[in-house]
Amino acid sequence: MNIAIIGTGNIGSGLGRVIGRTSHGVVVSDQQGGTEAAAKLAAEGVRVQAADTATAIAEAEIVILATPYGASTQIAGANDFSGKIVVDLSNPVTEDFSGLQLGHDSSAAEEIAKLVGAPVVKAFNTVFAEHYAGDLTLGGRKIQTFVAGDDAEAKAKVIALAEDVGFEARDAGGLSNARYLEPLGYLNIAFGYLLGQGTGIAPAWLSA
């Protein structure tokens, strides 16, 4: 599949790194056209390309919005996502990190879905950037990512992508369950930064 990653911060570049080492095609983009980020990844031996946002979206099957919630809504409202699968990994954290901007009756993923007119899948929002520099394992287990969406085919493709890069992908039901995944993402941030546990952590659902 052709994957566009919009946003080249630590998370976006990290995803570019792990996806670029699979058979999938990867294009990265940011406000500068993704050229610097693509060059850095290429220097690591990662196969990626750069493009402006509109071109990256147009040529992709899956578009990953690796941007903060506010930026994601702007990108969602300003581009044509017809025929695309959109992956939202944002956690709509307030500016002072005291909580979430949305919750209970909506989520960042659902608000973005209203704007793009295409299937939206929630995934990767509970994974700290540092894990993308490793093998996506923690304590001898694959790190889990929780995948929620209403379109079964779109969700299946995102689950397959997550498994291709090394995650244990857990089907988290419909997109409305992003209302619970985003607080989980915030709790992970709180453990990591506010409670001093660091970013070498990840949540998991375990079964016997």
**CA–CA separation, 141 vs 64, rounded Å?**
25
* CATH superfamily of domain region 2-194: NAD(P)-binding Rossmann-like Domain (3.40.50.720)
What confidence score (pLDDT) does residue 133 get? 95
DSSP 144-208: EEEEEES-HHHHHHHHHHHHHHT-EEEE--SGGGHHHHHHHHHHHHIIIIISS--SS--------
Computed over every residue of the chain, the mean pLDDT equals 95
Write the pLDDT tens digit of every residue in 62-77. Answer: 999 999 999 999 999 9
Nearest to 79 by CA among 47, 56, 48: 56
Inform me whether the pLDDT recorded for 94 exceeds 80: no
pLDDT band, residue 161 (cuts 50/70/90) = very high
Compute the average pLDDT of residues 142-148. 99
Inform me whether the pLDDT recorded for 14 exceeds 90: yes
Helix axes 152-165, 10-19, angle to 10 degrees: 80
Residue with tokens 């244990």: 168
Residue 138's H or E segment, with its range, is strand 137-138
Q: How many CB atoms lie within 10 A of CB 207?
A: 3
Higher pLDDT, 179 or 102: 179
Compute the average pLDDT of residues 42-46. 96
Compute the average pLDDT of residues 94-106. 73
pLDDT band, residue 148 (cuts 50/70/90) = very high
Half-sphere exposure for 123 (CA within 13 Å, toward CB): 32
What confidence score (pLDDT) does residue 103 get? 72
pTM score, whole prediction: 0.95
What confidence score (pLDDT) does residue 60 get? 98
What confidence score (pLDDT) does residue 152 get? 98
Inform me whether the pLDDT recorded for 95 exceeds 80: no
What confidence score (pLDDT) does residue 105 get? 81
Inform me whether the pLDDT recorded for 93 exceeds 90: no
Inform me whether the pLDDT recorded for 200 exceeds 80: yes
